[in-house]
Structure 1
Amino acid sequence: MTRIDTTFAALKSERRKAFVAYIMAGDPDLETSLSIMQGLPGAGVDVIELGVPFTDPMADGPTIQLAGQRALDGGQTLDKTLDMVRRFRAGNDTTPIVLMGYYNPIYSMGVAHFLEKATDAGIDGLIVVDLPPEEDSELCLPAQAAGLNFIRLATPTTDDRRLPKVLQNTSGFVYYVSITGITGAAAAQAAQVGPEVARIKAQTDLPVIVGFGISTPQTAQDIASVADGCVVGSAIVKEIASGKPVADVLDYVRALADGAHQG
């Protein structure tokens, strides 16, 4: 079992929903993002989703695009991101870390080399949004053979014919995208999300975590109430972009986590 599997098993036994927080590695700079990352577990975060900056982030809206650009301008790379995880692991060996990004940097590093470095650094799972199930042999299957979870996204346009293919080699949890479009584009609605989560759960025993369109403690609570938990990304990245002190960013994350845990 990975740290992700262990965490969700513990949450299930406690009848508690999960809160997943996304930050961009290297935004606004490496040391600040590491400080925020190190504070996330204490702020109630159950799983950390760590973005790898990339020049063409097709699934991301302006907020995360700008975060990625700031990180790239500061010299952030995939290697530096993995080193950041290694530094985090020196003080925390329990909180799951999911690396979220695009295939190009991994391909450029070489899949075997990347997987060796990722597992050594302490990565638990991958979300690679531009690799469909038809390309599972490219990274998904080697990643799972290396002991990493490979987490898929399901969306409102993933119909019942497509869903089994999406779920086929998914592990860890299913990430349900609550809206059609890019990150930060609209607000999630529990009334619309609930039936979709139920539809997915009818075909898998994996936890279903909902992301996109969550920016307040109340929305986090509402969405978590109809799923196994929720993810917040753009709203946290906005707080970081505003230049607020790390402690203030973590206070905001704590309020979101409290909302999700009441779901």
Structure 2
Amino acid sequence: MQNAHTTPALAAGTQPKGFAHTPSATAEALEHRAAQNQPAFIGYMPYGFPSAQTSIDALRVMVQHGVDIVEIGLPYSDPVMDGPVIQRAALSAIEAGERIRCVFDAVEAVAAAGAVPLVMSYWNLIFHYGVNAFARDFAAAGGKGLITPDLIPEEAGAWFEASERFGLDRIFLVSPDSTDQRLQAVSQASRGFVYAASRMGVTGERTTLSSSPQQLVERTRKAGADHVCVGIGVSTPEQGATVGAYADGVIVGSALVHTMLNAIGGDTQQVNACLDALGAKTAQLAEGIHHARKA
């Protein structure tokens, strides 16, 4: 197991013999958009909501309507970062019988649809599955990286080793309250991008965004991050365009999940209406995000 003192070497690509040397697919997707003077659209949806098959269909719809990188959420019974919208969807998934092993079907679907599949998960779920086993199975399904909101680099020794072994991206979070020292540590430890939480607190839609995300992106780049993407609070095309003007990628979660919840209402059989609503919302957001830097 690697410890915190070996993290810089791993982050720099100094890998033991037999470890993967594959480039970051997440970074490549961000750079592909950057070459067109566009930010990437990163969309989140929890696996298993409102059912396993519908969630997979929803992920495909998101890709078809403009999402470049997909965050597949692993529902958790005791979330610390998720707001009420995502909590509600996660509870629905758990009650429907969502199981961690089945998420690899969703990963395969996203990869086949042509987007970069990431998984966003609280670390307890990965730990109990087995860090190396999860990395192995995730990579075999076409997965490209993990977003771990409650894992810090100093406690991620097993994940550093497994991610290097299977060529997976490590995406850690920073916030406006992060010190410069913390930004440097996270920038060095991350692979793919650094997730800049636009504010402290849980996820959720917001009517306005402060200037702190832009300042955080600037500080994180100065600390050494190659790519910085912003999430938490973006819910409209206009907000997506505002954030996309300065961030490498714009992360949207609650707004997409909320659209699904509204379309379903109390009837889980309204699948087609639900997916149609999701496609329309995704397309609107993609238009705002991808055209954020138009003159």
Smaller-chain TM-score bracket: over 0.9
Equivalent position of 2:279 in the other structure = 250
Equivalent position of 1:227 in the other structure = 247
Equivalent position of 2:80 in the other structure = 58
Picking from 201, 219, 227, the partner of 1:199 is 219
Picking from 142, 167, 172, the partner of 2:162 is 142
Equivalent position of 1:32 in the other structure = 54
Q: C-alpha separation between the residues in 2 aligned to 1:140 and 1:241?
A: 36
User: CA shift at 1:248, angstroms?
Assistant: 1.6
Q: TM-score, normalised by structure 2?
A: 0.84
5 Å-filtered alignment, 1:38-187, equals 38-89=60-111, 91-92=112-113, 94-184=114-204, 186-187=206-207
Equivalent position of 1:6 in the other structure = 28
Q: C-alpha separation between the residues in 2 aligned to 1:184 and 1:145?
A: 35
| CA deviation string 1:91-116 (max 9, x = no partner) | 33x41111001112211111121111
Please give the secondary structure, in 1, of the residue aligned with 2:146. Answer: strand
Gaps of 5+ in 2: 1-22, 265-272
Please give the secondary structure, in 2, of the residue aligned with 1:139. Answer: helix
Quickly say closer, same or farther: Cα 1:237–1:8, change in 2 above 3 A. same
| CA deviation string 1:228-259 (max 9, x = no partner) | 12111011111111214202211101101111
Does residue 237 of the first structure (1) align with residue 257 of the second (2)? yes
| CA deviation string 1:200-223 (max 9, x = no partner) | 111224211110111111011011
**Matched-pair identity in %:** 31
What is the RMSD of the two structures over their aligned residues, measured on CA atoms? 1.5
Gaps of 5+ in 1: none
Q: Mean Cα displacement is larger for which, 195-204 or 117-126?
A: 195-204
Q: C-alpha separation between the residues in 1 aligned to 2:40 and 2:30?
A: 8
| Higher-Rg member (1/2) | 2
**Residue type of the alignment partner of 2:221:** K
Aligned length: 261
Q: C-alpha separation between the residues in 1 aligned to 2:108 and 2:68?
A: 18
User: CA shift at 1:6, angstroms?
Assistant: 1.9
